[in-house]
Amino acid sequence: MSGTEWSALVSLDRPDPVGSEAYGPHPSQVVDRYGPRGGPRVTVLHGGYWREAYDRRHLSPFAAALGAAGFSVELVEYRRVGGGGGWAETSEDVDAALDHLGGPPKVLLGHSAGGQLALWAAARRDRAADRVVAVAPVADLSRAYDLGLSDGAVTEFLGGHAEVRRLLPEADPMRLLPRVPVEVLHGTADQDVPIELSRRYANNWGARLHLLPGVGHFAPFHPTKPAYGVLLDIIRRV
């Protein structure tokens, strides 16, 4: 991860959650809560190309800002590559976390690799949420693999080149019809996840695609940036 948007995001103070709870025995199987318990629920899956080096904490300022706006935010951690995760342990954690949290949230929000997980849940669960909002998602694993994004992150996630083609039918959102409405938000200047992945997904499944001209990968999660206001409006939409 690099760039001024990333630097600006990780330089923010990271507010403590109002509470945390485990949904399994592994240290990464935990959910942090922000905001009022009675507010509309937003469940958040962070990105980081599924790697252990990137955890949920970089989205804590965003989660706290949503909480201050009246939402009940559930920031989910999960096992990642290099820390007991990968396919299918990571997806199993998403399932387990959503089961633990109870009924479907108003919004299941995923960023980047977390967007792939949210779109996977939208297809695999009877009702993952009222709506899924995917921000700069790795929505086309096959294309991401062909492009070798982030030094072969898809290969790492799926367990090696020999496994990629075998596992794409069960892991790739491009092959999984969503069961709930999906909206996708993507910056046109994103250097981490090419916008073509979101365009391909939206064209494939009829998801609504929102573009952020001149915006990169992380600005929608920085509470003082205009792109955050766009994302907040999408989350607020009934």
* pLDDT bracket for residue 200 (50, 70, 90): very high
3 — pLDDT class (breaks 50, 70, 90): confident
What is the Cα–Cα distance from 14 to 3, expressed in whole angstroms?
19
Q: If we measure between CA atoms, which residue out of 3, 66, 9 comes closest to residue 35?
A: 66
Using the structure block, give the residue that is written with the tokens 């009934």.
238
What pLDDT sits at residue 188?
98
Tracing tokens 């996840």 back to the chain, one arrives at 193
Domains of the chain: 4-236 (3.40.50.1820)
Q: Between the CA of residue 25 and those of 28, 85, 111, 132, what are the distances in Å?
A: 8, 14, 25, 27
**DSSP assignments along 89-131, one per residue:** HHHHHHHHHHHHH-SPPSEEEEETHHHHHHHHHHHHSS-S-SE
* Mean pLDDT (whole number) for 35-55: 97
Q: What is the pLDDT of residues 211-224, one digit of tens each?
A: 999 999 999 999 99
Q: Is the pLDDT of residue 2 over 70?
A: no
What's the mean pLDDT in 122-130? 97
Q: What contacts 11, CB < 8 A, 6 or more positions away?
A: none
Confidence at residue 1, expressed as pLDDT on a 0 to 100 scale? 46
Digit-coded pLDDT (tens) for 203-213: 999 999 999 99
Structure confidence at residue 130 (pLDDT): 98
- Reply yes or no on whether the pLDDT at 238 is more than 90: no
| Contact (Cβ atoms closer than 8 angstroms) between residue 56 and residue 129 | no
Mind listing the pLDDT tens digit for each residue in 139-173? 999 999 999 999 999 999 999 999 999 999 999 99
Whether residue 17 is predicted with pLDDT greater than 70 in this model: the reply is: yes
User: Per-residue pLDDT tens for 61-75?
Assistant: 999 999 999 999 999
